[in-house]
């Protein structure tokens, strides 16, 4: 019997297609060890890892680290008074991660230089292939013509251009003239 939209008895089953298992973003260590450098326990080291690298918020990191009351534990870990070693370890770990993934002028310059080298090599290769296949013609010629075109007939202009370009000597086809 349904009362105010609540059904008694069995719960509704989820229907629809099954979900694919998601790949984890990072590989979680199987066992966390105490960190003697910062004086952290196993659970505190796990919290630091989950909070900095595990893509979790504070409460979720505390939950995954195994704390019984994750919200309260996360607040105590991050407030800086109760566990200053944990906040120091988190700050140092975040700085290390920021340095590893930061975009610096040196890294940007190196990446751009690699792109330029690759692009230049590719363009040069395409030009060479086109020349080998006969698909490109180098027609850069500077011609200085000192003639009065107003006094020349159309045929005189054609003859003069043919002579300057020496089209007969170079073996150009009629399409090139």
Cβ atoms of 89 and 38 within 8 Å: the answer is yes
Global pTM value: 0.47
Residue 174 confidence (pLDDT): 57
Nearest CA-CA partner of 47 in 8, 9, 73? 73
Cβ atoms of 166 and 159 within 8 Å: the answer is no
Please report, for the chain, the start and end positions of each structural domain, with discontinuous segments joined by +: 27-101, 104-137
Confidence of residue 53 (pLDDT cuts 50, 70, 90): confident
DSSP state of 40: B
What's the rounded Cα separation, in Å, for the pair 167 and 177? 7
> What's the count of helices (H) and strands (E) in the chain, helices before strands?
7, 2
Residue written as token pair 């395409």: 126
Taking only the tens place, the pLDDT of each residue in 106-147 is 888 888 888 888 887 888 888 887 777 777 666 665 556 666
Confidence of residue 35 (pLDDT cuts 50, 70, 90): confident
């Amino acid at each position: 019997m349904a009362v105010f939209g609540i059904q008694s008895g069995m719960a509704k089953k989820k229907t629809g297609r099954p979900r694919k298992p998601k790949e984890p973003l990072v590989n979680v260590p199987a066992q966390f060890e105490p960190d003697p450098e910062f004086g952290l326990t196993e659970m505190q080291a796990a919290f630091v890892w989950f909070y900095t690298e595990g893509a979790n918020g504070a409460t979720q990191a505390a939950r995954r680290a195994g704390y019984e009351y994750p919200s309260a534990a996360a607040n105590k870990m991050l407030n800086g008074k109760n566990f200053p070693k944990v906040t120091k370890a988190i700050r140092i770990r975040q700085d290390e991660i920021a340095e590893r993934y930061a975009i610096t002028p040196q890294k940007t310059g190196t990446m751009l230089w690699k792109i330029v080298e690759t692009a230049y090599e590719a363009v040069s290769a395409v030009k060479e292939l086109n020349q080998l296949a006969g698909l490109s013609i180098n027609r850069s010629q500077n011609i200085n013509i000192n003639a009065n075109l107003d006094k020349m007939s159309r045929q005189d202009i054609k003859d003069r251009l043919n002579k300057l370009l020496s089209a007969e000597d170079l073996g150009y086809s009629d399409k090139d003239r």
